[in-house]
Copies of this chain bind each other. A is one copy, B any other.
């Protein structure tokens, strides 16, 4: 079949596009991501499925897969990145589709369904990136990571290679004079991958040998799903600084502490309470509702709501966060 040269040529270009979703919620001040259990000892994974003819648009296809696999409907959705450079060939000559692209998305939802479907779970995203949670100070796992990375730098072949590795480690992991930048989640994951810190590197055959002790590299995921999750976290951490996306994760009315804890959960940083409140008020991002909370274990708080007019007034309506040493009881 298909002796027509034009058709052969077209077939030569055909690919499959996988749509993969990072669905995020913040509950009880913890950042969570919607995952599917791996069947029979397999790895955890994100909801995903191929882009098909029946889907009107890419985003529609994504929503459809997430709903059918998790019964979760999506609100805010944003495309992240298209991965295709892993030489992941699907070995089926008969199908006409020889390669797989992976299009990642991040979605924000207000409240996880009480009981997720069988095999579906909301999991703390720091399970996959234990080194990214600085809310209570520098995470202890970074000691082991630092040691591993130093060995990796030394293991370079040649002085140039060693210098390049040392610079990457310093810039991304706040070692030897670098400062921690919470936005560089993807760069850190890719560095960890290249250095053999994460299990996926061995599964893909990109690195051979013995990995680090259990717990150091974080929980692995199927395929390139953890890379997509890293992209999502990085995107969100960057975006809250200039767009009011946090409010997609909160109920219509909320307290300033809820807002602060949501930002802290995403950014992985502890913030200074009085200054955070002033920042929010002064930027005009929220307005009073008149209502108050009751019985939350302290003084009742004002309930506020997002103020849409802020979009007009501010060129970059967001929450520029910076780590603080005086973060109250949470800071180290």
Contacts and interface: CB of A to CB of B under 8 A. Distances in A.
B98 A311 contact: no
Contacts of A6: 95
A81 interface: yes
- How many monomers of this protein are in the complex? 2
Most interface-central of A6, A84, A181 (chain B CB within 10 A): A84
Q: How large is the interface on A (under 10, 10 to 19, 20 to 34, 35 or more residues)?
A: 35 or more
A13 B16 contact: yes
Given A10-B95, A81-B79, A56 B87 contact: yes
B12 A53 contact: yes
Contacts of A313: 177, 179
A42 interface: no
A82 interface: yes
A97 interface: yes
Given A79-B82, A82-B82, 8 more contacts: A10-B92, A11-B96, A13-B16, A17-B101, A59-B85, A82-B103, A167-B312, A178-B312
A57 B84 contact: yes
Interface in A33-62: 50-53, 56-60
A57 B99 CA distance: 10
A14 interface: yes
Contacts of A84: 17, 51, 57-58
Interface string A82-122: 10110100001011111101010000000000000000000
Contact of A312 (B16, B17, B50, B170): B170
A15 B17 contact: yes
A315 interface: yes
